């Protein structure tokens, strides 16, 4: 059964701690993306990657870091430098580079207190 | 800068066609128009996309004006399961999502 998995669904952390969100896809997609969504808002792009070992900053990359060591995996680290980390985080992937529909995972809801 | 403008909310009667408008007056020549929808607390779902011509698939139809400055997503026979937030986005190197239209299907 192909798709994108994100884990965990809910994540709780104390302020000042780094936390890594997992995103895995078995769709053989080249491109992967991370978005952040705040209540009542649209999605904002954090980072994206078109190929392994390469990634670009999105609109709100400050306080976040990513890696793309494998085609299937694109983990996102929310660092302590991110001022308002509590949000709903969504991972997506697409084939054929960027002009293609994106498939989204179920999301991880991160709460930092 | 908002690249797309959508009404914040709309209602539609069950069984009728839902027409969702989107303005994108600053669209550039190589940007596609994409539509996604998001049901509460889930990941967005792709619906349809187009560049210049009208498009239709099993979910919806997309009408793009000749000047490409606006588009309309049409759900031909809305059901209660179509209640969601619908996002009109422009794509080239990356997608930019606005706040979308909250569509409520009324029984």
Question: How far does the CA of residue B36 sit from the closest CA of chain A (Å)?
Answer: 9
Cβ pairs A/B, distance under 8 A: 50
Nearest CA in chain B to A4: B43
Residue A48 phi/psi, 5° resolution? Answer: -145, 155
Q: DSSP secondary-structure letter at A15?
A: T
Joined tokens for residue A51: 């190929």
Joined tokens for residue B43: 């990941």
Contact partners, residue B38, CB within 8 Å, separation at least 6: B44, B45, B84, B85, B87, B100
Question: How far does the CA of residue B26 sit from the closest CA of chain A (Å)?
Answer: 18
Nearest CA in chain A to B33: A99
The answer to whether A43 contacts B42, with C-beta atoms less than 8 Å apart, is no
Task: Choose among B45, B87, B91: nearest Cβ to A99.
Answer: B91
Q: A44-72 pLDDT, tens per residue?
A: 999 999 999 999 999 999 999 999 999 99
Nearest CA in chain A to B51: A99
The answer to whether B43 contacts A106, with C-beta atoms less than 8 Å apart, is yes
Please give the average per-residue pLDDT across B94-102, as a whole number.
85
Q: B28-45 pLDDT, tens per residue?
A: 888 889 999 999 889 999
Q: A9-54 pLDDT, tens per residue?
A: 999 999 999 999 999 999 999 999 999 999 888 899 999 999 999 9
Determine contact, residues B20/B73, Cβ cutoff 8 Å.
Answer: yes
């Amino acid at each position: 059964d192909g798709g994108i998995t994100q884990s965990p669904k809910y994540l709780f952390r104390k302020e000042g701690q780094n936390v890594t969100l997992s995103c895995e896809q078995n769709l053989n997609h080249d491109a992967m993306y991370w978005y952040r969504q705040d209540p009542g808002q649209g999605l904002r792009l954090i980072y994206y990657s078109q190929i392994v070992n390469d990634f670009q900053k999105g609109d709100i990359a400050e306080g976040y870091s990513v890696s793309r060591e494998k085609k299937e995996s694109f983990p996102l680290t929310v660092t302590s430098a991110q001022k308002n980390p509590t949000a709903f985080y969504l991972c997506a992937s697409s084939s054929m580079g960027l002009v293609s529909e994106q498939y989204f995972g179920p999301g991880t809801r991160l709460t930092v207190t | 800068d908002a690249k797309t403008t959508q009404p914040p909310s709309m209602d539609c009667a069950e069984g009728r066609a839902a027409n969702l408008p989107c303005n994108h007056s600053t669209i550039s020549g190589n940007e596609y128009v994409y539509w996604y929808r998001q049901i509460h607390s889930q990941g967005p779902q792709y619906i349809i996309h187009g560049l210049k011509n009208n498009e239709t698939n099993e979910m919806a139809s997309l009408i793009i004006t000749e000047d490409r400055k606006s588009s309309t997503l049409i759900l031909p026979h809305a059901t209660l399961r179509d209640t969601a937030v619908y996002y009109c986005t422009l794509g080239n190197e990356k997608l930019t999502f606005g706040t979308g239209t909250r569509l409520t299907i009324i029984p």
